Structure 1
Amino acid sequence: MIVYYLKSNPKNYVIFPTPANIGDYYQVDVDDGVDLSQKTLVIRDDNPVLVDISHDVDLAEKQEIMRKRINKKRDEMNAKGVFVKSLNRWFDSDADAQRRLNGFISVMREKNIDLSVTWTDADNNNVDNFGKTECADVMLAIFELESTNHAVAFRHKDAMLKLDNPYAYDYSDGWSGRTNKENKNEK
């Protein structure tokens, strides 16, 4: 049978009739004869899953909280900045910085020109003659940073899921990006 769980409050569900505002509900296929009073809906990896009301629900909720914390740490590390060896400087790597870098590349591509401008690094120092090559070096460093941190986050989530107490998992190691010490040295 199909059970419709209200997205805003998954403890509320409807079996029949099909809700008129179906977009407000998760649709879950449940075997006939299942005692819904002994089940609850949890969201795992953005998918609705029906589980027994037990320790598993608490564990699933803890895992989801920890997964979000690990993702937040990944995003924070990705936005702290990136060191570009070829330029021997730190550059911003957050979404705004990436938008500006992509815009710079797009203008050059659209106009079919190679520009050199004065760019500002993460320490607010000017970088003269910042052109296509320098921009590509920064973008490559950001891509490498994000790829590394994605792999680190995946490793941490995988290890955390194996624990009985996800809150005991320490996900502080392995990240790439500008450290707090380096951020304190900013001008």
Structure 2
Amino acid sequence: MFFVIYNTETGNITQTVSAPFYMPEMFVLEEGFAVLEVDKQPNDDKEHIKDGVLVAKPEPIIDPKVTKVLEQDKVWDSIKRKRLSQITNGVLVESVNKTFHTDSMSAIQYSTIAGMAAMGTYQTVNWKVMDNSWVLLTVELLKELQVAISVKTNTNYEVAEQHKAAMLLVDNPLEYDYSTNWV
């Protein structure tokens, strides 16, 4: 046997005590709370008191509009991850037909080199590209590389926004295919 203390307005159980350790006169209850004797220990997450009886809580009513918004948010997060992956998976520089790294560390190095070039202190270096070969990274090649990175980044941002707009129009966002048009 168990005694449950519950909120008389909501029916929510606030405390459960087994019978040998509890006698109703042991506690002074605040206004709005009551004690009910029950045969089994209640599951506070799944049961509550209604009209003085321990009953199952009703399943929450889920608004389909809220569900769709949550699904849209989930897909948008996936689209953004795909965009980042595309932006950081390298960029082809056509004049040398080589793919350069575009991860965050490489971007920092390119910015440092661009700063040195602007100050006139940069000297051409041998630069390792994604196929593990080497190219001479001249100021001219660095400019071409930075343009290629900028074009790829901007294009992928546009593709992501197009996918987002299209995904927001479909009935089932989780089934939307955003795998196309990336560069």
The answer to whether the Cα contact below 8 Å between 1:93 and 1:142 also exists between their aligned partners in 2 is: yes
2:135 corresponds, among 103, 127, 137, to: 127
Counterparts of 1:80 and 1:114, CA distance in 2: 26
Q: Give the aligned partner of residue 53 of structure 2.
A: none
Q: Give the aligned partner of residue 167 of structure 1.
A: 174
Give the 4+ runs in structure 1 shifted more than 6 A. Answer: none
Deviations 1:132-166 (A, max 9, x none): 11111111111111111111111100000001210
Q: Give the aligned partner of residue 95 of structure 1.
A: 104
TM-score, normalization by structure 1: 0.63
The answer to whether the Cα contact below 8 Å between 2:116 and 2:122 also exists between their aligned partners in 1 is: no
Q: Give the aligned partner of residue 162 of structure 2.
A: 155
User: Any stretches of 5+ residues in structure 2 without a counterpart?
Assistant: 1-61
TM-score, normalization by structure 2: 0.64
Counterparts of 1:109 and 1:171, CA distance in 2: 40
1:68 corresponds, among 63, 68, 77, to: 77
Identity in percent: 30
The answer to whether the Cα contact below 8 Å between 1:91 and 1:122 also exists between their aligned partners in 2 is: yes
Secondary structure of 2:96 counterpart: coil
How big is the shift at 1:67?
0.3
Counterparts of 1:56 and 1:115, CA distance in 2: 59
| Structure with max Cα Rg | 2
Counterparts of 2:77 and 2:83, CA distance in 1: 10
User: Any stretches of 5+ residues in structure 1 without a counterpart?
Assistant: 1-52, 177-187
* Distance 1:100-1:114 versus aligned 2 partners, 3 A rule: closer
Counterparts of 2:109 and 2:132, CA distance in 1: 15
How big is the shift at 1:108?
2.5
How big is the shift at 1:109?
2.1
The answer to whether the Cα contact below 8 Å between 1:98 and 1:139 also exists between their aligned partners in 2 is: no
